[in-house]
Amino acid sequence: MTQTATFSITNLRHWPKFARPRAATALCALAGAAVVLGGSMLFWPEAKAAPQARVEEMRQLVETTSGDQGAILSEGAGAEERNALIPSLKQPVEHARAFQSIRAGTPAYNAALKCLSQAVYYEAANEPIAGRRGVAQVVLNRVQHPAYPNSVCGVVYQGANDPVCQFSFTCDGSLLRAPVPSLWNTAQGVAEAALGGYVEDSVGSATHYHADYVLPRWAYTLGKIDKLGRHIFYRFKGNAGRSSFLTARWSGREAIPALDMDRLRGKLAARHQVEPVPQFVEGLTVTHSEADRHASNDVGGRIDTTKQWRLTIPDPVSASQTYRQTVECQNEADGQAMEEGTQAI
């Protein structure tokens, strides 16, 4: 939709008489400049069309890692092997822009610090220090990338209440687990350094990562940068993945969104569901098997731990003495039997 400038010739009559000449002169100068530049400075339909095209471009960019592209192709050892076969980008890793947009001590800074500390802790608490810094760098790279929210908490909690979230700890119930103090302090230190301008050069302009024991489909679509600890870092291919593309400005606001706590509790319970322990019956502690060939009230000669049964191993010395005594008694009995036989003859 075409938008017009605030000022026009027709509304000059509402101006004070002493100001009208200067206002008219200014408007004439604006119109003249527009003619010289070959366009209108009072109308800018092209300026509105360009952002719409950019929005569509960013939407298509995000789709390269969402939907079906987010499907897990492999897990475990198989995923590790296949991840190792994906070649890294041949281009050198570029230095990302330092992020120093939020003044320390402000409410916005405190909220951003908490969000970034949570990301570092819940995503990489047990990773090497470079891996933790890499996670923080990915968050801040996204803040500065036009395809993502332009606030720290907005990036971290993107999709937290949707079926699929960007950072799994925000929607799988992990937030309900209290952090380990020592690891949290380290994560907070990493976050403070990142918000103060520290740049993890080993990951450069990375906007994505995943654990090496899973293989998402998008791993073949993005440009692989490096592996730090158990995480493999990626950037978009082409200009969208370069440091020069990280031009978005911080929004100036930070806020942690309201979360569906009942949903998080359900997710956490599902992840930590314990299989029920079988209730054994007196005399039948051995779990039934189809291969068993015995009556239902018989444990088949197997050890029944509900009985007062104790494993005892006789002392070797006592055992040998008992054996000798038994042999001697048998010899005496044999001797007596022979004497009785002789007398009978």
Tell whether 227 is covered by a domain: yes
Tell whether 23 is covered by a domain: no
Q: How many residues in total does the chain contain?
A: 345
Query: Between the CA of residue 319 and those of 15, 184, 322, 332, what are the distances in Å?
Result: 122, 62, 5, 20
In which domain, by residue range, is 238 found? Answer: 73-271
Is 17 strand, coil or helix?
helix
Tell whether 39 is covered by a domain: no
Tell whether 181 is covered by a domain: yes
Question: How does pLDDT run across 155-175, given as a tens digit for each residue?
Answer: 999 999 998 899 999 999 999
pTM reported for the whole predicted model: 0.66
Quick one: how many helices (H) and strands (E) in the chain?
Answer: 9, 5
CB 283 within 8 A of CB 306: yes
Question: How does pLDDT run across 90-122, given as a tens digit for each residue?
Answer: 999 999 999 999 999 999 999 999 999 999 999
Query: Between the CA of residue 12 and those of 20, 33, 41, 293, what are the distances in Å?
Result: 6, 20, 19, 105
Segment (H or E) for 150 = none
Tell whether 281 is covered by a domain: no
Provide the domain count of the chain.
1
What DSSP line would sit under 151-181, residue for residue? SHHHHHTTTTTSSS-SSGGGTSSGGGSPPPH
Q: At what angle do helices 107-124 and 181-195 cross, to 10 degrees?
A: 120
Tell whether 3 is covered by a domain: no
Query: Which residues touch 118 (CB under 8 Å, ≥6 apart)?
Result: 156, 169, 175, 187
What CATH number is given to the structural domain containing 160? 1.10.10.2520
Digits of tens for pLDDT over the chain (345 positions)?
A: 434 344 344 444 444 554 555 555 554 554 444 444 344 333 333 333 447 777 888 888 888 888 888 899 999 999 999 999 999 999 999 999 999 999 999 999 999 999 999 999 999 999 999 999 999 999 999 999 999 999 999 999 999 999 889 999 999 999 999 999 999 999 999 999 999 999 999 999 999 999 999 999 999 999 999 999 999 999 999 999 999 999 999 999 999 999 999 999 998 888 876 556 556 555 555 555 655 555 555 555 555 555 565 666 666 666 667 667 777 777 776 666 666 655 554
Tell whether 322 is covered by a domain: no
Tell whether 58 is covered by a domain: no
